[in-house]
């Protein structure tokens, strides 16, 4: 079996501004985000992690960096771990989006929605599940790897592995600096823990 640690990046000022970041470059961790990254490294560096993967976006790489430094690993960037491509909505405020008719679709039937000029939630889920399956396959049994990326992709992957309809993925939560733990054994996937905030003890079963 392979243990996947799905880790959401740390806090940043773009989140505080309540804007949709998507794949916008140049979004860096703020002071709280850097503390979260350090806390993650403090807890996760004690675990037998064999590799570290990250989204190409700065906020994910910066969150992964303290752990990579502590373990002496290079961060392996995978483009498929990028945040959802929100197309023309990138940089828009949540307040402005709440007024759109499409917002109800996103909340109630996201499987039917595609971001204008971007991808659908179905495509995003397929993309993320494929790269996570690939990462798990690339590692030997009993190996543990850390994967740093983004909230919606984490929730979409988790919904898939739990057998939840995509339309229910918004019921899940992935806080900044949180860890969700999956055990992958061939076609069998078990969720060992969800949305953990350091410090925490690693679940044994």
What does each C-alpha distance from 23 to 7, 42, 85, 129, 199 come to in angstroms?
A: 17, 28, 6, 18, 29
Say which residue the tokens 């405020």 belong to.
93
Spell out where the chain has E strands.
2-8, 49-54, 75-77, 143-149, 179-185, 188-196
Residue 205: its pLDDT value, please? 63
Domain ranges within the chain, ordered by starting residue: 2-196
Q: Which pTM was predicted? A: 0.96
Taking a C-beta distance cutoff of 8 angstroms, is the pair 32, 172 a contact?
A: no
Taking a C-beta distance cutoff of 8 angstroms, is the pair 78, 53 a contact?
A: yes
Q: Cα separation of 188 and 159, whole Å?
A: 14
17 burial (CB, 10 Å; 0-12 / 13-18 / 19+) is exposed
Mean pLDDT per block of 10 residues along the chain (205 residues) reads: 95 91 95 98 96 98 98 98 96 90 91 97 98 93 94 97 96 97 88 94 76
Which CATH code is given to the segment(s) 2-196?
3.40.50.1240
């Amino acid at each position: 079996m392979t243990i996947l640690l799905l880790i959401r990046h740390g806090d940043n000022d773009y989140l505080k501004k309540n804007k949709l970041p998507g794949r916008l470059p140049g979004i860096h961790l703020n002071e709280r985000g850097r503390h979260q990254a350090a806390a993650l490294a403090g807890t996760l560096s004690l675990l037998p992690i064999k590799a570290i993967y990250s989204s190409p976006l700065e906020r994910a790489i910066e969150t992964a960096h303290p752990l990579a430094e502590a373990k002496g690993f290079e961060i392996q960037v995978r483009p498929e771990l990028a945040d959802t491509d929100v197309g023309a909505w990138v940089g828009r405020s949540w307040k402005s989006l709440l007024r759109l008719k499409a917002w109800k679709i996103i909340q109630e039937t996201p499987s039917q929605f595609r971001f204008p000029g971007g991808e659908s939630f179905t495509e995003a889920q397929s993309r993320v599940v494929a790269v996570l399956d690939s990462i798990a396959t690339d590692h030997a049994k009993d190996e543990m790897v850390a994967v740093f990326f983004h909230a919606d992709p984490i929730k979409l992957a988790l919904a898939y592995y739990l057998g939840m309809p995509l339309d229910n993925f918004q019921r899940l939560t992935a806080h900044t600096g949180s860890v969700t733990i999956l055990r992958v054994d061939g076609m069998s996937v078990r969720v060992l823990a969800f949305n953990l905030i350091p410090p925490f003890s690693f679940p044994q079963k």
